């Protein structure tokens, strides 16, 4: 199997789980220096999704691909065509853009790209399994760890907006299962964490787990735009603001799919924080 995004959050865990399951794995990276960060017993190939012909060596002899798309859309048609000539099956890391919950129905260029790639996969006649996680629990590391480490004050908009953060390890476990177990061709799996939690509640859970008082300071959308200007891409900020704003007053969309496929409960947000507490503690400028 070829795992793309193998150095990323989900693909790295998928690679590990496939190795554990005894499945021969080839891991793709477009940076040769990243190979050293992958397990020694994995075959690493270099290839770049923006240069479709660079994938040929990695695709040779492969029966299925885990596809993670984080590059611009231009080369998606050529890449999917190439997959269709070399492999039978694709497990694609997408998003729940078709779910009629307001959180997932806001303008979102990434979701539009996911939908396009799904159409390409169908048109190419590939067998597919579509994995649709909601918000990753791990997003909070890049959002809040620095502020928590610096002064324990999280300045953020829409504290009341609820999401159901899903643990990347559960996303990876479902993806790996659909790669090595029969019966998932045509599968379309929306994955969420087990509970709907407001963003302010998520911050408070982090404080509880770390044993520190963390203050949540509510920003207006415009204050958030100006505080992230220059450090966050504006389309990402607008996409998040639209999704959080639209979900106010509604619980997050929660599914039982992780349990249905793995037979074990999805990890809670508290569990994710507990397992990653050092990442907050080790963040820069932590007051003693």
Ligand X SMILES: NC(=O)c1ccc[n+]([C@@H]2O[C@H](COP(=O)([O-])OP(=O)(O)OC[C@H]3O[C@@H](n4cnc5c(N)ncnc54)[C@H](OP(=O)(O)O)[C@@H]3O)[C@@H](O)[C@H]2O)c1
Q: Contact residues for ligand X (CB under 6 A)?
A: 4-11, 29-31, 34, 48-50, 68-71, 93, 95, 110, 133, 135-136, 139
Q: Closest separation between CB of residue 186 and ligand X, Å?
A: 20
Alpha-carbon distances, residue 7 vs 156, 177, 191, 222 (angstroms): 29, 19, 21, 35
CB atoms within 10 A of CB 108: 20
Nearer of residues 34 and 279 to ligand X, judged by Cβ:
34
Nearer of residues 142 and 288 to ligand X, judged by Cβ:
142
Specify whether the CB–CB gap between 66 and 79 falls below 8 A. Answer: no
Nearer of residues 12 and 184 to ligand X, judged by Cβ:
12
- SS3 of residue 190 by DSSP: strand
Nearer of residues 183 and 253 to ligand X, judged by Cβ:
253
Q: How many residues does the chain have?
A: 288
Nearer of residues 100 and 287 to ligand X, judged by Cβ:
100
Angle at 268 between CA 213 and CA 137, to 5 degrees: 75
Please write down the long-range contacts of 186-190, taking CB distance under 8 Å and 24 or more positions apart: 186/127, 186/128, 186/129, 187/129, 187/130, 188/129, 188/130, 188/132, 189/129, 189/130, 189/131, 189/132, 189/257, 189/261, 190/96, 190/99, 190/132, 190/133, 190/134, 190/253, 190/255, 190/257
Q: Closest separation between CB of residue 151 and ligand X, Å?
A: 26
Q: Closest separation between CB of residue 288 and ligand X, Å?
A: 31
Q: Closest separation between CB of residue 5 and ligand X, Å?
A: 4
Q: Closest separation between CB of residue 209 and ligand X, Å?
A: 20
Residue whose entry in the numeric block shows the structure tokens 């939908």:
115
Nearer of residues 28 and 214 to ligand X, judged by Cβ:
28
Nearest residue by C-beta to ligand X? 8
Q: Closest separation between CB of residue 108 and ligand X, Å?
A: 9
Q: Which of 75, 116, 92, 78 is nearest to 2 (CA)?
A: 92
């Amino acid at each position: 199997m070829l795992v793309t995004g193998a150095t990323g959050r989900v693909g790295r865990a998928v690679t590990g789980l496939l190795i554990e399951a005894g499945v021969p794995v080839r891991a793709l990276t477009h940076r040769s220096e990243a190979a050293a960060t992958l397990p020694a017993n994995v075959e690493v190939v270099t290839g770049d999704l923006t240069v479709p012909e660079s994938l040929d060596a990695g695709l040779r002899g492969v029966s299925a691909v885990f596809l993670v798309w984080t590059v611009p859309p231009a080369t998606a048609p050529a890449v999917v065509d190439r997959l269709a000539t070399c492999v039978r099956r694709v497990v694609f890391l997408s998003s729940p853009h078709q779910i009629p919950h307001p959180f997932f129905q806001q303008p979102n260029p990434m979701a539009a790209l996911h939908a396009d790639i799904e159409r390409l996969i169908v048109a190419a006649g590939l067998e597919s399994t579509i994995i649709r996680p909601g918000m990753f629990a791990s997003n909070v590391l890049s959002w809040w760890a620095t502020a928590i480490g610096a002064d324990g004050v999280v300045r953020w908009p829409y504290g009341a907006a609820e999401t159901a953060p899903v643990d990347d390890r559960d996303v990876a476990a479902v993806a790996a299962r659909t790669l090595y177990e029969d019966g998932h061709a045509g599968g379309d799996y929306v994955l969420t964490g087990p509970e709907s939690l407001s963003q302010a509640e998520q911050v408070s859970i982090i404080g509880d787990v770390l044993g520190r008082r963390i203050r949540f300071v509510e920003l207006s959308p415009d204050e958030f735009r100006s505080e992230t200007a220059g450090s966050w891409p504006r389309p990402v900020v607008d996409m998040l603001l639209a999704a959080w704003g639209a979900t106010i007053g509604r619980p997050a969309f929660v599914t039982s799919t992780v349990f249905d496929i793995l037979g074990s409960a999805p990890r809670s947000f508290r569990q994710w924080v507990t397992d990653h507490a050092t990442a907050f503690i080790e963040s820069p400028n932590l007051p003693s």
